[in-house]
Amino acid sequence: MNALQQYIDLYLEHRALLEQHSAPALGALRASALEALQGARLPRRGSEDYEATDLEAVFAPDYGVNLTRLDYAIDPAESFRCDVPNLSTCLLHTFNDVPHISELSRRNCGAVCVETLAEAAARHSEVLAAHLGRLSARGDLTAWLNTLLAQDGLLVYVPAGVTAPKPIQLLNILSAAQPTMAVRRLLVVAEADAHVRLLACDHTQGSGVESLNLQVVELVAGPRATIDYYDLEESGTDTRRVSSIFVEQHEGSEVLIDGITLTNGITRNNFHIVVAGEHADTQLLGMTIASDTQHVDTRSFVSHNAPRCTSNQMFKYVLSDQAVGAFAGKVLIQEGCPRVEAYQGNRNLCASPQAKMHTKPQLEIYTDDVKASHGTTIGQLDQEAMFYMRTRGVPEGEARRLLMQAFMADVVDGVRLDVLRDRLHHLVEKRFDGTLAACNGCAVCSTN
C-alpha cells in the first residue's frame, strides 16, 4: 500500500474534526498540500542515486495522529529541568505535538513574541500570512504531509532591532503508549537588525514503541538579522525522525545551523537554504554519532540567489557497528551572482568494518568570479596515531575515543553558546565511551 495514501485517507475522513482543532493559518494551506500529495509516492531505498532513507518504509506503519488535540497528563516543567550551570534560557515545551508556553517563559523572552500558531492568528496574523508555509512549499512530500496534518505549532517572532535577552530552548518530548506520529511546526521570523539564538532538543521518553517525529521548521532572517539554531537529537532507538529546516536570508543576515545527532533510530534531516540578499553569511554544520543499526541521512541544498555572499557547510559522521550514514549536498550559484564564496565538506569516519557511509556532494555554478569547492572523505581511525598513543601507555579503547573526539571537535566548537559547547564536549565523550544511551530525560539539561 502507498504509505502516503493512508494519511491522505485519514485527512479526508476526519477533515472536519482536524479543522475544528487546528490553527486557522494552517487550515489555509491544506488545499495546496492535498494537491501536492494526491497520487504521489515516497521514495524507496535504491530509487534515488545514493543510499537514502527508505521513506516509504518509515511512513508505512499505521501511526496514530492526535486529531482531537488531547493533552497529556504530564507537567513537562516538572519532568525536565535544565541544570546546566549558567545556561539560562526561555524554555518552551512540546509534548508529542502539543505546545506548552508558561507565562514565566513569555516574560523571560522580553520583547520577543513566543506564541502558539493558534494564539498568533489573533495577535500576529500578518506575520503568519507573510511567512507560514511559504518556504516549506519548496520542500518534498514529507513537508507537504506535515502541512496537511499539522494542527498547531510555535511562532518565535523577533521584531526589528530586538535582541532576544536569552537563548530560546525548545524541549520536544516524544512519548506514547502506541505508535504515534507527532506533527510539529515551528516558524521563526527575525526582522531587520534582530538577533535570536534557539536550541531545539528532541527526546524520547520511554521505549519499546515505534514513534515518528515529523517536523517542519521555517527560519526567516531579515536584513542584518542573526539567527543561531542548534538542533540536537537524543532520541530512542524506536524513534523515526523526518525533519525539514527551511531558511531564507536577506541582505547582510547571518544564520548558523548546527545539527547534532547523538542517539536515534532512523533519522532523515533536510536543510533547504535560500540566500536572497547580498553580504549574507551562512554556516551549516552537522555532527552524527551512530552505532548499532542506527541510520542517519542528511540532505542539504544551499541556493545563492544574490551576489557577494558566503556559505560554509561541514558535516561529520562517526559510524560504528552496523550503522549507516548518508549525505547528499548541493550548492547552487545562480546566474548573475558573482563574488560568491561557497564551501561544502563531508568528512566521515567508519570505526568498524560493517559501518557504511554513502556520500554525494554537488556544485552547480552558472556565473563567473566565484570561489567554490566541495569535498568528501571516508576513512578509518589513523593507525599510526593509534600506535603512537598505545606505545605511550594509552589503552586501546581510550585511544579510539580520543581520536574520535578530536575528529568531531571543530563541529562542537562551532557552537556559539559557551555553556552548551562545553556540555556537548562532555556528552560526545560519554557517547564514545558508551555511557550515553537514549535518554528518558534531557541529558543536555543534566549535570550527571
Number of C-alpha atoms within 13 angstroms, CB side, residue 106? 11
Quick one: pLDDT at residue 388?
Answer: 59
Confidence of residue 46 (pLDDT cuts 50, 70, 90): low
Burial class (CB in 10 A: 0-12, 13-18, 19+), 110: middle
Quick one: pLDDT at residue 301?
Answer: 97
* Residue 440 lies inside a defined structural domain of this protein: no
pLDDT at 398 over 90: no
pLDDT at 53 over 90: no
Confidence of residue 84 (pLDDT cuts 50, 70, 90): very low
Quick one: pLDDT at residue 85?
Answer: 46
pLDDT at 126 over 90: yes
* Residue 396 lies inside a defined structural domain of this protein: yes
- Are 227 and 202 contacting, i.e. CB atoms less than 8 angstroms apart? no
Cα separation, 5 vs 8, in Å, equals 5
% the chain with pLDDT above 70: 89
* Residue 443 lies inside a defined structural domain of this protein: no
Return all residues near 125 (Cβ < 8 A) that are at least 6 apart: 25
pLDDT at 80 over 90: no
What does the pLDDT look like over 134-179, one tens digit per residue?
999 999 999 999 999 999 999 999 999 999 999 999 999 988 888 9
Return all residues near 422 (Cβ < 8 A) that are at least 6 apart: none
Confidence of residue 114 (pLDDT cuts 50, 70, 90): very high
Confidence of residue 73 (pLDDT cuts 50, 70, 90): low
Residue 279's domain spans which residues? 3-432
Quick one: pLDDT at residue 267?
Answer: 97
Question: Mean pLDDT across the stretch 116-143?
Answer: 94
DSSP 125-189: HHHHHHHTTTTGGGS-HHHHHHHHH----EEEEE-TT-B-SS-EEEEEEE--SS-EEEEEEEEEE
pLDDT at 133 over 90: yes
- How many residues in total does the chain contain? 448
* Residue 446 lies inside a defined structural domain of this protein: no
Domain count for the chain, please give it.
Answer: 1
Confidence of residue 448 (pLDDT cuts 50, 70, 90): very low
Quick one: pLDDT at residue 240?
Answer: 96
What does the pLDDT look like over 283-317, one tens digit per residue?
999 999 999 999 999 999 999 999 999 999 999 99
* Residue 32 lies inside a defined structural domain of this protein: yes
Q: Please say whether the dihedral angle defined by the alpha carbons of residues 18, 23, 27 and 33, taken in this order, is positive or negative.
A: negative
Place of cell 558566503: 310
Q: Which of 191-195, 231-235, 394-398 has the lowest mean pLDDT?
A: 394-398
pLDDT at 35 over 70: yes
- State the DSSP code for 124: -
Q: Which of 36-50, 77-91, 116-130, 275-289 has the lowest mean pLDDT?
A: 77-91
Helix, strand, coil percentages in the chain from 3-state DSSP, rounded to 5: 25, 40, 40
* Residue 132 lies inside a defined structural domain of this protein: yes
Return all residues near 264 (Cβ < 8 A) that are at least 6 apart: 233, 234, 235, 236, 237, 239, 241, 290, 294, 296, 438
Cα separation, 20 vs 296, in Å, equals 36
Question: Mean pLDDT across the stretch 201-226?
Answer: 92
What does the pLDDT look like over 253-262, one tens digit per residue?
999 999 999 9
What does the pLDDT look like over 313-332, one tens digit per residue?
999 999 999 999 999 999 99
Q: Tell which residue, 139, 307, 300, 155, has the closest CA to residue 220.
A: 155
Q: Can you read off the three cell numbers belonging to residue 290?
A: 551512530
List the helix and strand counts (H, then E) for the chain: 13, 19
* Residue 334 lies inside a defined structural domain of this protein: yes
- Are 328 and 52 contacting, i.e. CB atoms less than 8 angstroms apart? yes
Quick one: pLDDT at residue 50?
Answer: 61
Cα separation, 35 vs 118, in Å, equals 24
Cα separation, 172 vs 204, in Å, equals 9
